[in-house]
Each structure stands twice: as C-alpha cells, then as structure tokens.
Amino acid sequence: MSVTFWCPKAPRKQVPCRFCDEPWAGFPEGNGKGGKCDQFCTGFTEESDAPEANFAEGNAIPLLRLLGWTDKDSYLGGECDPATMRQRIFHVRNSDRSSALRESYVLEPGHAGMAVVHEDGMTRIESRGPGVYGCGNTDEKTLRRLGDLERLALWAQENDHEISWG
C-alpha cells in the first residue's frame, strides 16, 4: 500500500496516455483494440497540474507522525490547508527526526515457524514462511520526502488549494 499527497481540486489537463507509447503497448490489428494499451483506453488521460508525492505506507506513517498526525487523526487519510503543512514541515526540519529512522533487515525464508508434515507414511518438520526484506529509513530520505511535501504545499498555497492524503 502507499499514501499519496495531492490537491484533489487542482486543475487537470488531458495528455496522451504514456502507456500507449510503451514498446509492449498496441495490440495486433484486427482484434478491435486499435493499437492502444488496452481495449478501454481512449489514448488520453487526465493529469493534475499540481505536484504530487507518493510514499510507501511504511515511509508515510513515520513521516505523518513526525508532522503531528496520529492514528487518532486517521493519518492514512486526511486533509489540511497548505500553510499548516508548511509550518509542520518547518518544525520537523528543525527538530529531532530520530523516531522515523530504522535499520534495514532481512529475515530468511522459514522464519514464520515450523510445521509437521505427514507424507507417504513419513513425518518431517519443515520451516515455513517467505523471506522478508525490510527497507530502512535514513535522515536524508526523511528530508527528501519533506522536500517533496514542501513543493506540494508551496504550490497549493500559491494556487489556493487544500492538500489531501490517502
């Protein structure tokens, strides 16, 4: 899952579909799809004039906590005015951000426990579970994400739009 920050009421413009230009796009002639990326594509899509920021949920949650939103505020979906967002970003840039830092890790396959398997009259014990790779977060990455939010908040403030996330 991911969390996107955007201005929902920002003006939108019609642009050519970028997927129709991909080398894999376009279906053979005669199938009724007209060489588009899929049978429902018109060849165009709507894009916002406003900048957007999209972060993995695992990166967005610590960032929203740093900015002062908690699970009581429903931080995976919310809205605020751009001035509030910019004030909170300014505060976070000049505060301790260590709560958002985390080390990366790897859990090898089989860490989820053991299972007793009976097969062909034999019984064996197997390790279960997939490998898990946890990405870390550094202060530099946090500052880069704050910069992305700052660009969005500045645009929203200059153009009189609210910021939403979800």
Query: Each residue of 88-107: pLDDT tens digit?
Result: 999 999 999 999 998 988 88
Whether 34 shows a pLDDT value over 60: the answer reads no
How far from the centroid of its chain's Cα atoms is residue 94's Cα?
Answer: 25
Where is 140: in which H helix or E strand? helix 139-158
Of 153, 145, 143, the C-alpha closest to 83 is 153
Q: pTM, whole model, 2 decimals?
A: 0.73
Residue 60 phi/psi, 5-degree rounding, is -70, -40
Instruction: Give tens-digit pLDDT for 116-157.
Output: 889 888 998 888 888 888 888 999 999 999 999 999 999 999
